[in-house]
Structure 1
Amino acid sequence: MSEQMLPVSDFGREAYGISGAPRQAMINYGRVLMAIAGADGEVSKPEYDWLVAHQRKFGATEDILAEYEDFDYRSADLGELLAEIKVDVETWSSGPHLIYHAIQMCGADGVYADAERAKVAQAAKDLAVPSDVVLTLEALIAMEKAVYNMRAAIFHIHTLD
């Protein structure tokens, strides 16, 4: 890979098994998520906040996050964006990761809208992620949320969730 790799955070290394990605890959990853989450007409503030928090946790710098501010997600070409998503591990596949994060982002505002669900399904098809994997990822996210809520209840953490 000839592009300069930016290091990812410890979280990025542990959760995704990669140590670096090109700047444009980090930008496009977020842009793809915005295009999917915006399928219902808008990227809501909670969805956008989820994206920024996730990308920051992953290791994206402030200049990368700034690239999302004025991005026209309504007219985004997923194919063009996806072509630039690369990391430092040849066997890593963006498809399942993007679908997982898209589902999380779409639900960040408490509503996984039908238009968002349809865009996730279309993106999954474009990324060669089988529909049974999409269903499994949706179930995984529901389980993760339930586990988080159980933990919050045990430790008496009161959230708005």
Structure 2
Amino acid sequence: MATNIKEKDTNLGALWLFKQQFGFSNIPLTIEYEAYFKSLLICANGDGTLADEERDWVIGYAYAYNCDPAIIEKLKIYKADENLEAIISEYPSASESRRFLIFDAIQACSADGEYSEKERAVVLKGAKKLNIPENEFKKIEAIYLETVKLREKRLAAMYPEGSPL
């Protein structure tokens, strides 16, 4: 059963993030966390190299969403060589979030400063396996690129002298 605000106040930050980012009113089950974050690592490993920055991005993301520390420990050593479709399709809410999974996979792949053609090919293959047509995949990619540009624009406007930290 998913957690909501009334059931467990210790997850208020994660619940806020889930509402803000995904429009969820509940926190997914722990097992779904594991499938989602493993899937991100599989995509980031698409070029055959899972860069430290990519793994760190996924682990940081997992921490931000109050992921179980035992799962985070698994992610730290996960080889990311399993079948993406098999991992994600077993969990309904993770599967329903497959477009966000693709968006987040692009973010994870880009965490090392590069979104290589090999990584893109794996993410696209994953999208197709998750029944996301290529034209929808391209829309998700475009939204990601717009998000990056908007973030840069926002930071430049808020900190015209550069980040204070």
The two structures have a TM-score, normalised by structure 1, of: 0.84
Match of 2:91 in 1: 85
Contact persistence 1:11–1:58 (CA under 8 A): yes
* Partner Cα separation in structure 2 for residue 97 and residue 77 of structure 1: 18
Is structure 2 residue 153 aligned with structure 1 residue 156?
no
Which residues in structure 2 correspond to 1:126-145 (within 5 Å)?
A: 126-145=129-148
**Greater percentage in helix:** 2
Helix, strand or coil for the counterpart of 2:59? helix
| 2:68 is the counterpart of 1:64 | no
Which residue pairs with 1:124 in the alignment?
127
C-alpha contact 2:99 2:132 (8 A) present in aligned 1: yes
Q: Deviations over 1:50-100 (max 9, x none)?
A: 1112222223132221121221212x0223211333339xxx722201111
In the superposition, relative to structure 1, how do residues 68 and 157 fare at CA in structure 2: closer, same or farther (>3 Å)?
A: farther
Aligned length: 152
Q: Which amino acid aligns with 1:14?
A: Q
> How many Å separate the matches in 1 of 2:100 and 2:35?
13
Q: Is the 8 A contact 1:47 1:109 kept in 2?
A: yes
The within-5 A match list for 1:74-113 is 74=81, 76-87=82-93, 93-113=96-116
Q: Following TM superposition, by how much is the alpha carbon of 1:6 offset from its aligned partner in structure 2, in angstroms?
A: 4.9
What's the counterpart of residue 22 of structure 2?
16
In structure 2, how many angstroms separate the alpha carbons of the residues matched to 1:25 and 1:86?
8
Pairing 1:5–2:26 present:
no
Moved over 4 A (4+): none
- What stretches of structure 2 of length at least 5 have no aligned partner? 5-13
* C-alpha distance 157-137 of structure 1, shift in aligned 2 (>3 A): farther
Q: Return closer, same or farther for 1:59/1:13 CA change in 2, 3 Å cut-off.
A: farther
Q: Partner of 1:69: helix, strand, or coil?
A: helix
Give the drift of 1:158.
3.0
2:85·2:130 contact (CA, 8 Å) conserved in 1?
Answer: no
Match runs of 1:12-51 below 5 Å: 12-18=18-24, 19-51=26-58
CA RMSD of aligned residues (A): 2.0
Question: Which string of whole-angstrom CA distances, capped at 9 and with x for unpartnered residues, describes residues 84-130 of structure 1?
Answer: 33339xxx722201111011111111111111010011001000111
CA contact (8 A) 1:21 1:86 kept: no
Give aligned-pair identity as a percent.
23
